[in-house]
Structure 1
Amino acid sequence: MLISLQALRALAAWTVVCHHFMQIFFDFHASGPIGQFFVDRGAVGVDIFFVISGLVIYLSTQDKDMPAGRFLLNRAIRIIPAYWFYTVLMGLMIVALGQQMPHQVVDLPHFILSLLFIPSENPGGYGLYPTLNVGWTLNYEMFFYLMFSLVFVVPQRLRPLVVAAALFAVCEMVSTYGVLSRFYANNIIYEFLLGIAIGWAYRRGWVAQGLWMPLMLIAVSLVAIYNLPASDRLLNWGVPSAIIVVSCVAMEPWFKGNRLLKTLGDCSYSVYLIHVLVLYTGWFASERLNINPYLVFAICVPVIALMSWASYIWIETRLYRRMKAWAEARLAPVPSRSIT
């Protein structure tokens, strides 16, 4: 993994944390320009995540031939354990404290659909969100992985075209069916293809290293994101996010070898999953004890960081390795016995 992408993943995750802090503590009513930025534009961290995901999946599978099922199994082992764990915790929190959590409701059918990455109306009545609200992005991620698995049956030179065609065709097809049409008609899903395009260009040496030009492009992209609405998310936020990603890749020599940034990036998935649980806990403390919300947030940040680091070590690394070793042992071909 490029350290520049790790740093950007961490920044994107913590941007989303600040966005949800403004939602949970202030119901998206900001009192200053910084707060207003996170209210209006903090969700762009998701767009950056999607572009990075497309880039990383493309680069990590080049020059590799594997069954599509093996690819999907590896991704499932990587994504599902932590997501299921924190979804269960969120469900228990809602059951225990649901009366005090605005709009938070859990029921068994919706909970099961959440675990299966199937979009469905949240029983709280606020949209197509799973029990662990941030999991809506993982519905897109798993859908992308399913489409990407098709590339392993075609030559490498055709893989970007195949995944693009498959993603477009299936999205257009499912967008005619009820709930799925409301979810997969969102053009945010095509941001994965922007990441694949960056990976394709990077592999061919078309991403030139530099500092001042990438910094200028990042500044221009941030201005665009700040001034453009999310109504056309792919064009207004997705394209600037892709420019930010490719600019960070171009600055890789200035990031290379930074272990802190690598660790922050490693923990970003757990940060994304954990932060809502911690913020809701902080919100309860703020309401009950009448503590300043910003003081509570200052406490929540290191708590999220420490919990995410522990989650990365125990769930994302150690459990992942054990599950992968177990799966590979079961999938390994059985040696034939010689008859003597």
Structure 2
Amino acid sequence: MLYSLQALRAFAAWVVVCHHFMQIFFDFHATGPIGRLFSHRGAVGVDIFFVISGMVIYLSTRDKAVAPGQFLLNRVLRIVPAYWFYTLLMALLLLAASRWMPHQVFEWQHLLLSLLFIPAENPGGYGLYPTLNVGWTLNFEMFFYLLFGLAFLVRQRHHLVLVSAALLLVSEVLGRLGVLSRFYNNDIIYEFLLGIGLGVLYRRGMIREGLWLPLAVLAAAGFALYHLDASMRLLHWGLPSALVVFAFVALEPWFRGNRVLKALGDCSYSVYLIHVLVLYGGWFASRRLGLDPYLAFAFCVPLIGLMSWLSYHWLERGLYRRLQAWFAARPGQRQALALSRVKY
């Protein structure tokens, strides 16, 4: 386990929280420099997530005999239950209160497509977003897992070539031609490859631990992220995000063994899924009670933290273990669950 990646996962999740706070409470119309920073650059947390995901998936499966079904089953057990749970909670919220929520509309067909990770136009008319809007990133994640799992059908030395070719085919050919949803014609999908590339460098010992050089890399990446918008997302945000991940891994000695950072990283997936629901609750409270938005956010932050901790222990880890035990008890499934758990 790389504690540096755990810390970075937590950081990326909370940057996204701040980004969506500015969206829900201010519709991205920020006045101060920090507010503008989170409004215009907070979405980069997603890019960091994608790079981390590519790196972790590569490192956790390299040099292991893994069947495609084995890999995909573990990914489904890890990702799907919590996502379905919070998607259904969001659906209930929309059914009860969508008339008070800007741009939010509920449709049963759209909910079903969301649960199946099929990109579809949101009934609110603002793009290809699922019922739980943050789930758009999971549509990319699950598609990447599918392609990565299929790569196990060939010899391991060909995995990276096959995954890269598949992503190019999907995004640049099938997405552009309309064979698959235009959702996949997005260069953000290549950020998984940046993560895989970092995984290759790490395995070969080419990411050297240190202090001053990683800090310099972090400073350069931060400068780029601050001054570049997402008009060319892979170049402007993807590459700097990869440099951030590179620098954090090189700073591993300063993170290693920190249980607080590990716990924060463990909870980051639940933070990502829960925070929009809590922020909408805070927005309702601020409107009804006349609270200052930042005061409402101050209440939302510990609530998100507590709920995500409970969600990780009771829903994510607890349900994962129960499902794992259930599948392991079925004939012929013990080997299918031999792959160790990989965190989002």
Which category of TM-score, normalised to the shorter sequence, fits these structures?
A: over 0.9
1:220-257 CA-partner distances (Å, limit 9, x unpaired): 10110111110110000000000000110011011000
Q: Residues of 2 paired with 1:130 and 1:73: CA distance?
A: 22
Q: 1:304: which partner in 2?
A: 304
The SS at the match of 2:231 is helix
Cα offsets for 1:65-85 (capped at 9, x unmatched) = 121011111100100000000
Structural mapping, 1:179-328, within 5 Å: 180-328=180-328
Deviation at 1:153, TM superposition (A): 2.3
Is contact 2:218–2:244 with CA below 8 Å preserved after alignment?
A: yes
For 1:266, give the aligned amino acid.
D
In 2, Cα distance between the equivalents of 1:44 and 1:331?
44
CA distance in 2: counterparts of 1:303 and 1:180, whole angstroms: 39
1:149 paired to 2:141: no
Partner of 2:95: 95
Q: Distance in 2 between matches of 1:262 and 1:184?
A: 32
Task: Summarize the alignment of residues 73-88 of structure 1 with structure 2, pairs less than 5 Å apart.
Answer: 73-88=73-88
Are the equivalent residues in 1 in contact too, given 2:171–2:187 (CA < 8 A)? no
Does the aligned pair in 2 maintain the 1:120–1:179 contact within 8 Å?
Answer: no
Which whole-Å CA distance do the structure 2 matches of 1:146 and 1:50 have between them? Answer: 15
User: Do the aligned residues in 1 keep the contact of 2:119 with 2:181 (CA within 8 Å)?
Assistant: no
1:139 paired residue number? 139
Q: Does the CA-based 8 Å contact 1:119-1:180 persist in structure 2?
A: no
Amino acid at match of 1:113: L
Q: CA deviation at 1:332?
A: 2.1
* Partner deviation per Cα, 1:78-109 (whole Å, 9 max, x = no partner): 00000000000000001101110011111011
Letter in 1 for 2:227: N
- The corresponding residue for 2:337 is none
Structure 2 Cα separation of the partners of residues 111 and 177 of structure 1:
26
Shift of 1:154: 2.5
Distance change in 2, residues 1:103/1:331 (3 Å): farther
SS of the equivalent of 1:117 reads coil
Provide the residue aligned with 1:25 in structure 2: 25
Cα distance in 1 between the residues matched to 2:179 and 2:173: 13
What's the TM-score once normalised by structure 1's chain length? 0.96
Q: Could you report, residue by residue, the CA deviation over 1:260-288 in whole angstroms, capped at 9, with x for unpaired residues?
A: 00000000000000000000000000000
Shift of 1:157: 2.5
- Contact 2:210/2:250 (8 A) holds in 1: yes
CA distance in structure 1 between the partners assigned to 2:217 and 2:253 by the alignment: 17
**Alpha-carbon distance in 2 for matches of 1:42, 1:279:** 16
The answer as to whether partners of 1:86 and 1:132 remain within 8 angstroms in 2 is yes
* Residues matched between the structures, number: 334
The amino acid that maps onto 2:19 is: H
- Residue 47 of structure 2 is matched in structure 1 by 47
- Residue in 2 that maps onto 1:111: 111
Whether the 8 Å contact between 1:119 and 1:179 is mirrored in structure 2 is no
| Cα deviation code 1:165-206 (max 9, x no counterpart) | 122112234313549443111100000000000001100111
**Distance in 1 between residues matched to 2:264 and 2:56, nearest whole Å:** 17
Contact 2:122 2:129 in 1 (8 A): yes
2:340 maps to none
Q: What is the rounded CA distance, in whole Å, between the counterparts of 1:180 and 1:275 in structure 2?
A: 30
Q: Give the alignment's TM-score, normalised by structure 2.
A: 0.95
Displacement after TM superposition at 1:9 (Å): 0.3
| Mapped partners of 1:321, 1:173: distance in 2 | 40
- RMSD over aligned Cα, in angstroms? 1.3
1:116-174 deviation digits (Å, cap 9, x = unpaired):
00000000000000000000000000000000012212333322222111221122343
Segment of structure 1 superposing worse, 146-155 or 272-281: 146-155
Structure 2 gaps of 5+ residues are: 335-344
> Given that residues 66 and 152 in structure 1 are in contact (C-alpha distance below 8 angstroms), is that contact kept between their aligned partners in structure 2?
yes
Q: For the structure 1 residues 130 and 247, does the alpha-carbon distance in structure 2 shift closer, same or farther, using more than 3 Å as the test?
A: same
Q: 2:176 aligns to what SS in structure 1?
A: coil
Q: Is the 8 A contact 2:327 2:333 kept in 1?
A: no
SS in structure 2 of the partner of residue 175 of structure 1: helix
- Structure 1 residue runs of 5 or longer lacking an equivalent are 335-340
Counterpart residue type for residue 304 of structure 2? I
Amino acid at match of 2:219: A
Q: Residue 96 and residue 225 in structure 1: after superposition, are their counterparts in 2 closer, same or farther (change >3 A)?
A: same
Maintained 8 Å contact 1:95/1:106: yes
